[in-house]
Structure 1
Amino acid sequence: MINSSCLPTAEDVAWLPVEEPAHVGRARRSATALAERLGFSGTRVAELGIAVTEIGTNLHKHARQGIVLIRAIRGERDEAVEIVAIDRGPGIRDLDLARQDGQSTTGTLGVGLGAVARLAGSTAMTSRSGLGTVLVARFPVRGGAVAADDAAGLTRPISGEQVCGDAYAACRTPGRLMLMMCDGSGHGPLAATASTAAVRLFREMSHARPEEIVARVHAELRGTRGGAVGIAEIDLVAKSVRYCGLGNIAAAVLGEGRKQGMISVPGVAGHQARTIRVFDYALPDNAVVVLHSDGLTERWGFDDHGSDLFVDPPVLIAATLLRGAGVRKDDACVLVGKPR
């Protein structure tokens, strides 16, 4: 039997706007409540509260359209609270200075983003003039450094819904990284039922070929709303990507200064699939593979989303893409694979 391990799962608990002073306290309370649910110690909960207060205060004072995503990360051995802060503000001119302890970008707390980096297990940040800033900070239950993920995704429900109908997963097998996304038809819990079922099947079959998994998902989603499905098999030895998509999942390889789109055939898993086809693409050195639902427009380019593909971790790339391209009134999901 082929050894397979799936990456940590992420539960996107709440997207919270931070545009008024009261919003800062709401973000802190939401984050610390999640930490208590995950079993954080009292000291660790307090540290998280300090960090979220600093993040929220910076958003309120300096940003425009600031928003915080609070999410639970569950791995095989540990759990964490992850904070993703996104804004469309003027940007931070000197990121190195902002990261230093004792510096304040707002003139309020006087501890600056350096305190966030010190209290978190890992942090990443990007900022560009005219686009704004994205910050990701992960706080594990027991503290300490956090190993980098080679794939990460984000989901955001359509306005008015608490549950996103899109879902994703990523698994490793020897020599390859598997990425999967399902956009459940419609919105809300019924759409989520279909996408969650697709993720479960993918995790059970992550050793199989993409076309085999898509065919199985199509068969198993009968009786549900169904959905669009895309699976990318990144072969780290052959330096190639094998992609199978059914429906409106967008997929691309970003490398060598360009965006190479990958083909999905028409259909709806669980309802209609005239053909299931697989396509092969080259994987350049230092390439990034992106899958996203139609909650994001496909009109984005290689370097216009505000992230450095060669440096930034997958979750930071995903957040910048969601900020820039997630403009449609729909559930939104983006998954980024960055094989090492």
Structure 2
Amino acid sequence: MSQPSSCTEALTDEIRIDHESAVHLAATAARDCARRCALPGAMPDQAAVLASELASNLVKHAVDGTVYVQPQRVGTGVEIIAVDRGPGIRDLDRSMADGYTTTAGSLGAGLGAVRRIATEFSIRTRLGFGTLVCARLSVSGEPRPARRDVGSVCLPAMGERHCGDACDVADTGDSLTGLVVDGLGHGVPAAEAARSAVRSFRTAPDRPLGDILTSLHRSLRHTRGAAAGVLRLHPDRAEYCGVGNIRGVLLAGGEVLHRMTGQPGIIGWNVPTPRTRTFPLPPGAAFVLHSDGVESRWSHSPPAFLLRLPPPLLAASLAHGHRRSRDDATVLTVHAA
């Protein structure tokens, strides 16, 4: 069973790129994150370069740009995601070349340097929609689960230092199991409930989903309580079990196949007998779990471009475009194969 990153309980750093000075903030956040994750040698400085290049592109060319910096959800490394609302990149291949620039006198390394430095790199762009870029910097030689990709964003409410949301994943044999939890309210009490739920989940994430929720219920009895949803992806099917306001969405072929909500109740206070739902899993399917800090209406008539994004970019896009700023917000996305 593969283990999550040692620093996955850290929140996502969100840096709005609305001024030149924000480039330095993004670089500092990436360097600090790399150091917290104990990345060796020059890797913290490399993480800063990745964030600086992505933030610089947003300042020069984008609208409503944000950089997200966080530990990788699985393994040891840093994940840096840049997302904006336009105008999109007209000639992506040309923009990816080292030294390309559209601004006289600029460094010009840009996206080509990001792709070269990053351990993993993905980019999607659409004219009029915007551009999303994910750059991961991982410890060389560390094994990574090859079957599924995972994305996540976990943000506190605006003005809050502590986040009452949390998420986690575990590679459980031939399946992958994920958790999203939303502690009631805000601040420290909600954060304590969320952390207790993650600790309980990590003790035995391969249990039946109903048993996981029952265990979370026992662990949270002396906390404020929480909503929680657990997901398991098998090679041929998906299972979901939830209590409270966690939403689940199954995607495949550029369409929304299923939407799920939890049973009424509060983990730690009053929980019905957990009920697990099972769905066939088409090839290339993806699953989204999110707290109510992300508006559920995103799934009602989403553009195909959004639904076909890889998990890290999908999580960032949903957080960027559909977040309720006055609530904690978490998105967990998993690609089935």
Q: Normalising by structure 1, report the TM-score.
A: 0.89
In structure 1, what is the Cα distance between the partners aligned to 2:251 and 2:149?
15
In structure 1, what is the Cα distance between the partners aligned to 2:273 and 2:142?
48
Tell me the alpha carbon deviations over residues 203-230 of structure 1, each in whole angstroms, 9 at most, x when there is no partner. 2121111011111111221110111010
Aligned to 1:189: 188
Q: Offset of 1:178 from its aligned partner? A: 0.9
User: Are 1:282 and 2:280 counterparts?
Assistant: yes
In structure 2, what is the Cα distance between the partners aligned to 1:139 and 1:295?
28
Q: Offset of 1:268 from its aligned partner? A: 0.8
Helix, strand or coil: the match of 1:274?
Answer: coil
Contact kept? 1:39, 1:141, Cα under 8 Å: no
Letter paired with 2:84: D
Aligned to 1:14: 13
1:1-340 aligned within 5 A: 4-8=1-5, 10=8, 11-40=10-39, 43-73=42-72, 79-107=76-104, 108-142=106-140, 150-236=149-235, 239-259=236-256, 260-301=258-299, 303-304=302-303, 306-307=305-306, 309=308, 312-327=309-324, 329-340=326-337
Change (3 A) 1:169 1:13: closer
Tell me the alpha carbon deviations over residues 178-222 of structure 1, each in whole angstroms, 9 at most, x when there is no partner. 111101111122211111111111121211110111111112211
Cα RMSD (Å): 2.4
In structure 1, what is the Cα distance between the partners aligned to 2:213 and 2:143?
37
Contact kept? 1:242, 1:281, Cα under 8 Å: yes
Letter paired with 2:155: R
In structure 2, what is the Cα distance between the partners aligned to 1:93 and 1:280?
42
Q: Which runs of 5+ in 1 are unaligned?
A: none
Q: Which runs of 5+ in 2 are unaligned?
A: none
Contact kept? 2:164, 2:186, Cα under 8 Å: yes
Change (3 A) 1:219 1:144: closer
Change (3 A) 1:327 1:132: farther
Aligned length: 331
Change (3 A) 1:235 1:143: closer
Letter paired with 2:291: S
Letter paired with 2:222: G
Q: Offset of 1:72 from its aligned partner? A: 2.4
In structure 2, what is the Cα distance between the partners aligned to 1:192 and 1:305?
35
In structure 2, what is the Cα distance between the partners aligned to 1:34 and 1:179?
23
Q: Percent identity?
A: 37
Larger mean Cα displacement after TM superposition, 103-112 or 195-204:
103-112
Change (3 A) 1:229 1:41: closer
Contact kept? 1:57, 1:106, Cα under 8 Å: no
Letter paired with 1:339: A
Helix, strand or coil: the match of 2:151?
Answer: strand
In structure 2, what is the Cα distance between the partners aligned to 1:257 and 1:36?
38
Q: Offset of 1:146 from its aligned partner? A: 7.5
In structure 2, what is the Cα distance between the partners aligned to 1:40 and 1:207?
29
In structure 1, what is the Cα distance between the partners aligned to 2:199 and 2:120?
28
In structure 1, what is the Cα distance between the partners aligned to 2:130 and 2:215?
42
In structure 2, what is the Cα distance between the partners aligned to 1:48 and 1:316?
18
Helix, strand or coil: the match of 2:93?
Answer: helix
Q: Offset of 1:303 from its aligned partner? A: 4.4
Larger mean Cα displacement after TM superposition, 240-249 or 317-326:
317-326
In structure 1, what is the Cα distance between the partners aligned to 2:11 and 2:102?
27
In structure 2, what is the Cα distance between the partners aligned to 1:290 and 1:39?
30
In structure 1, what is the Cα distance between the partners aligned to 2:142 and 2:212?
37
Change (3 A) 1:172 1:30: closer
In structure 1, what is the Cα distance between the partners aligned to 2:182 and 2:131?
28
Larger mean Cα displacement after TM superposition, 297-306 or 172-181:
297-306
Q: Offset of 1:252 from its aligned partner? A: 1.4
Contact kept? 1:248, 1:293, Cα under 8 Å: yes
Change (3 A) 1:328 1:71: closer
Helix, strand or coil: the match of 1:300?
Answer: helix
In structure 2, what is the Cα distance between the partners aligned to 1:80 and 1:127?
25
Tell me the alpha carbon deviations over residues 9-61 of structure 1, each in whole angstroms, 9 at most, x when there is no partner. 53335211111111111222222233344444564344333332221111111
Change (3 A) 1:205 1:56: same
